[in-house]
Structure 1
Amino acid sequence: MVIHTILEFLHHYGYLFFFFAFSLGPFGVPIPNEITILTAAILSHSGVINSWLTYFCILMGLLTATTLFYLAGKFFGPSLKRKFHTNKHYKKAENILDRKGNNAICVGMFIPVVRYFLPLLIGLSGVKYRKFAVVSYSVAIFWTMLLFTIGTFFGERLLSVLPF
């Protein structure tokens, strides 16, 4: 079960597990973010782990990952754009970001995988860091708080219904 796996990781790595699960998420950490947050909230609510420290590590991990991807897009933009300029998925994503702007950023943070690659696209598009930070970090805080709250109050019921 997921709870046992997370407890095992916590035993070995401490609260840094949550930081690394979110900051390394785009690089193939096999546990989905949503499941990790919900499970962390359940464990926090039951008193097994510290709620504030857990939430802080999760949020910092997510902010680190999105910032690194934004910076990668910003600094490697020209070479990456040359590589992707003919890719239909890249063109479509760039078009959505151009048309929808902040709304695309807000919605994208709620979609698995997209939440990590959207900052890369934002960096590629030349959006200033300040605008990126205000919108992306605000949505990241909202998203993590929402899921942590859902996990705290409804997590045990969700885990009993979900097939993992």
Structure 2
Amino acid sequence: MYSEEAIFSYLSNYAYQPLMTYAIIIVMMVLSAFGLPIPEEVTIITVAVLSHMGANPDLFPPPYPGAPTINPWIASLVCVAAVLFSDIVVYSIGHRSGKMLEKSPRFEKIFKNGKMNKIQNITHRYGVWAVFFFRFMPGVRFPGHLFCGMMDLKLWKFILMDLFAALVSIPTQLVLVSVYGRDILATLYRFKVFVIWGVGLFLLFMITKKVWAWWFSRATA
């Protein structure tokens, strides 16, 4: 079992490697946009913690004096740019290849478990604002953006709403955790047992949900 000191010691290696961290951000954000089952928020919060560690060398000593650190504003810009680029690619796939996708077995996998009906309902109810809401809905984000391209939503409207959503969600999380990381980490440490149980129960719920969806799809096939 790893101690908190060992974990933070490991993370501090990346707190003073900004270029590598920015590259990892781009890779993770692109993969998340294409359906990787790891929420973007995990990447954002992790980078924010690394930024906080770099801003507090007295608590997390650098490998050498003057080592470069992660700038939370640059990290936010990298996150937003990577997210926007990835979402535009997903939108473009739906816009250019939507008809072909509808005839592909892959289409049923992307929009399984009633996702198509859910996305259509959100789009019908909120119009262009659906793009904004898709950003805060893991599991629906990728097919939602794909559907926006398929329904020929104007590209400039898609970019505008997606950028707005990214600017609302990403810098606020990253900068707040970066600035107030000490208080947040102290709180997590105080309630670490409850946090661990919470994370464990959440993972158990997600695994059970996936297994149930797989079993149900096999049973109704």
Residue 21 in structure 1 maps to residue 28 in structure 2? yes
Deviations 1:109-147 (A, max 9, x none): 112232333211110111010111111111111111222
Moved more, 66-75 or 145-154: 145-154
Q: Is the 8 A contact 1:38 1:150 kept in 2?
A: no
Q: Distance in 1 between matches of 2:151 and 2:8?
A: 38
Name the counterpart of 2:46: 39
Moved more, 32-41 or 8-17: 8-17
Moved more, 108-117 or 147-156: 147-156
**What is the TM-score with the length of structure 1 in the denominator?**
0.79
The structural deviation recorded for 1:28 is 6.3
Q: Give the letter for the 1:51 counterpart.
A: P
Give the counterpart of 2:125 among 95, 99, 103. Answer: 99
Q: Distance in 2 between matches of 1:2 and 1:29?
A: 26
**What is the TM-score with the length of structure 2 in the denominator?**
0.61
Q: Give the letter for the 1:43 counterpart.
A: L
Give the alignment of 1:62-81 within 5 angstroms: 62-81=83-102
Residue 54 in structure 1 maps to residue 75 in structure 2? yes
Q: How big is the alpha-carbon RMSD for the aligned residues of Structure 1 and Structure 2?
A: 3.2
Change (3 A) 1:41 1:8: closer
The number of residue pairs the alignment matches comes to 164
Rg larger in structure: 2
The structural deviation recorded for 1:82 is 3.9
Kindly, what percent of the aligned residue pairs are identical? 26
Moved more, 58-67 or 144-153: 144-153
Q: Distance in 1 between matches of 2:174 and 2:150?
A: 31
Q: Distance in 2 between matches of 1:2 and 1:75?
A: 45
Moved more, 63-72 or 76-85: 76-85
Name the counterpart of 2:66: none
Structure 2: give runs of 5+ residues left out of the alignment. 1-6, 56-68, 200-221
Name the counterpart of 2:205: none
Q: Is the 8 A contact 2:72 2:175 kept in 1?
A: no
Change (3 A) 1:18 1:103: same
Structure showing greater relative contact order (alpha-carbon pairs closer than 8 Å, 6 or more residues apart)? 1
Change (3 A) 1:28 1:76: closer
Q: Distance in 1 between matches of 2:9 and 2:162?
A: 29
Q: Distance in 2 between matches of 1:3 and 1:61?
A: 28
Q: Is the 8 A contact 2:135 2:165 kept in 1?
A: yes
Give the alignment of 1:144-155 within 5 angstroms: 144-155=170-181
